[in-house]
Structure 1
Amino acid sequence: MAAVAPSPLAALTRLRSIIFQTSYNPTSQRTGAKYLRRRLRGPAMIEYYPNQLSISSINTEFRGLHLVDEYEERRIQDVADKKNRGKGAPKKARSAADSRRAQRKR
């Protein structure tokens, strides 16, 4: 059997990609098409984790209720107590000169 010249084969693969709506990649470079064709994970994750009803979401939806979230109040109180004891989060630098890195470089 005689071998077919490369140019008709290239034309055939180009035509095949047009007909079957696939990407034409004669140099076999990585394109990421496998990952782009894959099903998205986001919708499945949203279905897996149900919507959680929280007091903060109720407060934002219905402004007039003024419900108190005991867990959030306790957390805020704990943060304030830690800050009073000097165990709180450090202050954020307002400029590049205020940062600890800039002080260490001097």
Structure 2
Amino acid sequence: MAVPRARVLDLLKAQCQIFSTTYNPDNVRMGNKILRQRLKGPSMAKYYPPRGPDIKTIAKVFKPYNLELIDAEEMDRQEHLAGQVIRDLRLLVDGQLTLW
């Protein structure tokens, strides 16, 4: 004589309430086991040395003294973006570039 499924589900629901677990009668994969684990990020970050100062942080430090540092990489990036804007506008005028 088998026990009805509804009765088993009621027992499972009561068990989940008592032991503070997730009620999942359909056995759907929800990822609770993974989400309960500790995060690995802080321990992984300890393996690597801290990053040294870059141009932006040094510029922030010397900003009160009115010293201006030249960031060559940032200047190259700005020139590259300006060139892209000019190329995109030229294509837009020629009708070759569609926006959507």
Indicate the TM-score class for this superposition, using the shorter chain for normalisation.
Answer: 0.5 to 0.7
TM-score under structure 2 length normalisation: 0.57
| Distance across 1 between alignment mates of 2:30 and 2:52 | 42
Q: Secondary structure at the match of 2:45?
A: helix
Q: 1:17 to 1:76 in 2, by over 3 A?
A: closer
- Runs of 4+ aligned structure 1 residues displaced above 6 Å come to none
TM-score under structure 1 length normalisation: 0.55
Q: 1:104 to 1:10 in 2, by over 3 A?
A: same
| Distance across 2 between alignment mates of 1:62 and 1:47 | 29
1 or 2, which has the higher helix percentage? Answer: 2
Deviations 1:67-88 (A, max 9, x none): 747xx43x467x49xx7xxxx5
Partner of 1:21: 20
Q: Cα RMSD (Å) of the superposition?
A: 3.6
Q: What code does the residue aligned with 1:15 have?
A: A
Question: Which runs of 5 or more residues in structure 2 are unaligned?
Answer: none
Instruction: Tell me, yes or no, if structure 1 residue 12 matches structure 2 residue 11.
Output: yes
| Distance across 2 between alignment mates of 1:104 and 1:55 | 38
Instruction: Tell me, yes or no, if structure 1 residue 32 matches structure 2 residue 31.
Output: yes
Q: What code does the residue aligned with 1:4 have?
A: V
Q: Would you say the 8 A contact 1:55–1:68 is kept in 2?
A: no
Q: 1:4 to 1:99 in 2, by over 3 A?
A: farther
Taking only the aligned residue pairs, the percentage that are identical comes to 27
How many residues are treated as equivalent by the alignment? Answer: 91
Instruction: Tell me, yes or no, if structure 1 residue 64 matches structure 2 residue 64.
Output: yes
Partner of 2:52: 53
If asked which structure has higher relative contact order (CA below 8 Å, sep 6+), I would say 2
In the TM superposition, residue 23 of structure 1 has moved relative to its aligned partner by 0.9
Q: Secondary structure at the match of 1:7?
A: helix
Question: Which runs of 5 or more residues in structure 1 are unaligned?
Answer: none
Q: 1:7 to 1:23 in 2, by over 3 A?
A: same
